[in-house]
Amino acid sequence: MSNKLYIASMEARSGKSVIALGIMEMLSRRVTEIGFFRPVIPDRETDNNINLISKRYHLEQSYEAMYAFNHDQAQGMISDGRTDALLKAILDKFKVLERQCKHIVCEGTDYSGVSSAFEFDFNAEVANNLGCPVVVVLNGRHKIPADIIDSVRLARESFESHGCTIMATIVNRVDSSYVETITAEIAAHLTKSFPVYILPEEPLLSKPTVGEIAADLECSILQGDTDVLNREVHDIKIAAMNLPHFLDYVTDGTLIMTPGDRSDVILGSLATTVSETYPNISGLLLTGGLTLDVQVQRLIEGFRKLSPLPILSVATDTYTTAINASGVKSRLTPENDRKIAAALGLFESHVDIAELEERIEVVRSIRMTPMMFEYELIQRAGAGRQHIVLPEGAEERILRASEILLRRKVVDITLLGKSEKIQQKVSSLGLNLDGVNCIDPLQSDLLDHYARLFYEMRKEKGISEEMARDTMTDVNYFGTMMVHTGAAGGMVSGAIHTTGDTIRPALQIIKTQPGFSIVSSVFLMCLADRVLVYGDCAVNPDPDAEQLADIAISSADTAAIYGIEPRVAMCSYSTGQSGRGAEVDKVRNATRIARERRPDLKIEGPIQYDAAVDAGVARTKLPQSEVAGRATVFIFPDLNTGNNLYKAVQRSANAVAIGPILQGLRKPVNDLSRGCTIPDIVNTVAITAIQAQAVHSEDR
C-alpha cells in the first residue's frame, strides 16, 4: 500500500501511456494534488507523456519538475561509472515533487537505445529507491496465450528478485480473440498475490494521425484544422499510377502520397471525399515541395466547405517521404479527444478499478475538484447505462461528443435527423459511431403512433390530427415523445435550437412532476475545492414565493442526485429578521413554504450570500443555523440575480459551470447553450443519464 506507484514496462511499445492515463484518471476523482514524474525521458525537447498528463489534469508543477534527466544525460553518467550519483539525483528531484503532492504516479523509461536487460534493472532500482510499488506493463502484441502467461510469470519473478513490490500486472495490446483464454489461464495457474489485467489491442490507438505525421515530417499544412488532423492513418498509398487505376487501391483511412504536380491525383482524391461510392481517405500528402498550380489551388479553396480533407506538403521526395511516414509512431496527445476517450474506455472496461484502488493508499480528501466531479459524472452515468436521444444529429459538436460518450461506454445514443446526412457528416469528420441509432422522424414507423398520442394530449387545446402529425416531424417534439414513451431515458438539445424549442415540447408532453408548479434550472458550480448548486439562473424571470419554494425543493433533490448534501440557502439582501420589503418578504415566505412541504431538508432564509458561504460571517449573523456558513444549494430570488451571480463566480473564480440542468419535469430533458463546447455536451448527457437513473429508481 502506498501513495505513490511506478509504471514499468518490460519492452518497448507496450502502451505505458494508456496505463498512465487510466491510473491518473482513476486517482483524479479521489485525490487532489497529484504529481506525475519520469526519472528519464527520451532525447527530445518535450516529452509527449508529460505533456499529455500535465495538460489533461492541469498539474501545477513545471515541466522541468516532472523529470530528472534526459536519455543522453543519464547514459553519460552511467558510462562514467556514476550510477549511484544518477539514482541519488533522481531521488532528490522526486522528493521535491513528493513534498508538493499527496500522490505521485511515476512512469519508467521507454526502452529506446539500450538493451532491455539494462533498462529493466534500471527501472527496478529506481522504483526501489523511490519506495514505489510497481505496476508492470507487458506488451502482448503478436504473442500467443502461452507466451503471454510465461511473460507474466517471468515479470513477477524478475521484479520480486530485485526486491520490488508488485501492485498489479497489466498485459496490453493482446489479440482480442485471446483475452478470455488468457484470463482463464491466469486464474487457474498463477497465484492471487497481485491482480493481472488483460487489455485487448485497440486499433485506434495504434494508428498515427495525419497531424502526427505532419509534425514528425515537418510538413506545411495547406488545409485542415485540429479536428481533421486527428484522423487516423490506416494505410499509406503512393499514387504512381494514372488516376483511374490508382482509385482501385484506395481504402478507408488511406493517406494518399503524391508529388505536388500530380493535379489529376489531387483532384481525384478530393472527389472521393464527397463521393458515396468511394472510401473515406484520411488525407493527402504532397511531396517534393512543389507549388500547386493556381487553378488547382482555386479548386481546393472551393472544396473546403464540402470536404475538410487535410492536405499537407513536404519538401522531401516521394521515396524519402514514404520511408519517413511509415516510421511515425502513434501517440496520445492532449488535443486528441478521440484517442483519449478510446484509451480510457479500454482501461476502465478491462481493469477492476475498485480492486486496484484497494491496493493504492489514497488520501481521500473532502475537497471536490471540477475534474473529480466530472469524472464521477462519467462513472455514475456509465454504471447504470441509459439511452439518451440527441435531436441535433447532424451537428458536428453533437457527433464528436457522441463518439466520446460511446467510447467511454457512458450511454446508448439515438441521433435524430436524416440518416444519409448524418452518415455523410460522420464519414467526412472521420468519426467512428458504431452502435449509434439514427432515426429520421419523417421516415420513422413511430411517427403515426406519436402523432396520435400528441393529438390526444392536445386536442382540447384546438390541435387537429394533421397539426399533430406535422408537429411530430420536429426533432425536438419527436425526441421528447421518445422520452415520454420510454423509448429513451432522456433528451439533450439546444446546440442549434433555442431554450424555448427544447423546453416547450417537454412542458406539453412530459409535464411537471406531481406537486410542482414550475420547471426551473440549476447550474453545478465546480469551484477549486467544492461543488455548489445555483438556481434558478436560466429559466424563470421572477418566480413568486410558491414557485421559489418549488425551485428550492427541486434544487435540493437535484443536489442529492449528484452526491451533494443539500443545505439550502434562500438568498436575499437581508439575513434573518433584519430586513423588510417586498423582495425579502417573498424569500421569507418561500422559505416557510419550502420548510412546511419538506421538513426533512435543511433550509435557511432569507440569508445573504456571505453568511451562507462564510463560516466566520455565519457565526456573527446566524450562529445557530445548520446551513449558514455551510450552504451547498443557493436559491436566488429572480433570474437577474441568479444569472449575473453565476457568471460572475464562473469568471472571477475560474469555476466550471455545468448546466443549465432542467428540473421539475417528470422525465429528464436538458438544454444546451448554442455556444456549448464538446465537453459541455458530454457533461450534460452524463447529467441527463444520472437523472434518468433516478427516475427509473423511483419507478421501481
Three-state SS for 78-116 is HHCCCHHHHHHHHHHHHHHHHCCCCEEEEECCCCCCCCH
Give the model confidence (pLDDT) of 14-43 as tens digits: 889 999 999 999 988 777 789 999 999 987
Name the least confident of 85-89, 580-584, 635-639. Answer: 580-584
Please give the Cα distance from 234 to 253 (Å, whole number). 5
Confidence at residue 185, expressed as pLDDT on a 0 to 100 scale: 85
Model confidence at 362: pLDDT above 60: no
Confidence at residue 363, expressed as pLDDT on a 0 to 100 scale: 36
Give the model confidence (pLDDT) of 433-466 as tens digits: 988 999 999 999 999 999 999 999 988 888 899 9
Model confidence at 472: pLDDT above 90: yes
Of 127, 113, 36, nearest to 78 by C-alpha is 113
Confidence at residue 65, expressed as pLDDT on a 0 to 100 scale: 92
Residues 6+ apart with CB under 8 A from 31: 102, 103, 362, 363, 364, 365
Confidence at residue 102, expressed as pLDDT on a 0 to 100 scale: 85
Model confidence, pTM: 0.76
Confidence class of residue 364 from pLDDT cuts 50, 70 and 90?
very low
Please give the Cα distance from 6 to 11 (Å, whole number). 15
Residue 443 carries which side chain, given as an amino acid letter? Q
Confidence class of residue 1 from pLDDT cuts 50, 70 and 90?
very low
Model confidence at 192: pLDDT above 80: no
Confidence at residue 287, expressed as pLDDT on a 0 to 100 scale: 92
Average pLDDT over residues 99-106: 90
Model confidence at 655: pLDDT above 80: yes
Of 402, 346, 403, 408, nearest to 375 by C-alpha is 408
Q: Which residue has the higher pLDDT, 578 or 351?
A: 351
Average pLDDT over residues 406-418: 93
Give the model confidence (pLDDT) of 58-89 as tens digits: 898 999 999 999 888 888 888 888 888 888 88
Would you tell me how many other CB atoms lie within 10 Å of the CB of residue 163?
10
Average pLDDT over residues 508-517: 86
Please give the Cα distance from 260 to 254 (Å, whole number). 17
Name the least confident of 134-138, 208-212, 368-372, 562-566. Answer: 368-372
Name the least confident of 35-39, 305-309, 336-340, 596-600. Answer: 305-309
Model confidence at 635: pLDDT above 90: yes
Confidence at residue 191, expressed as pLDDT on a 0 to 100 scale: 60
Residue 158 carries which side chain, given as an amino acid letter? S
Q: What percent of the chain has pLDDT over 70?
A: 95
Give the model confidence (pLDDT) of 680-695 as tens digits: 899 999 999 999 998 8
Residue 205 carries which side chain, given as an amino acid letter? L
Domains, the chain, ranges and CATH? Answer: 4-201+337-358 (3.40.50.300), 210-326 (3.40.1390.20), 370-509 (3.40.50.10950), 520-664 (3.40.50.10750)
Q: What percent of the chain has pLDDT over 90?
A: 45
Give the model confidence (pLDDT) of 261-304 as tens digits: 888 888 888 888 777 788 888 999 999 988 777 887 787 777 76
Backbone CA torsion sign across 236, 242, 246, 247: positive
Please give the Cα distance from 502 to 519 (Å, whole number). 12
Model confidence at 357: pLDDT above 60: yes
Average pLDDT over residues 112-129: 75
Model confidence at 619: pLDDT above 80: yes
Model confidence at 306: pLDDT above 80: no
Model confidence at 699: pLDDT above 70: no
Identify whether the C-beta of residue 471 lies closer than 8 Å to the C-beta of residue 448. Answer: no
Please give the Cα distance from 367 to 372 (Å, whole number). 9
Of 31, 86, 30, 41, nearest to 65 by C-alpha is 41
Angle made by CA atoms 630, 634, 639, in degrees to the nearest 5 = 165
Please give the Cα distance from 176 to 324 (Å, whole number). 30
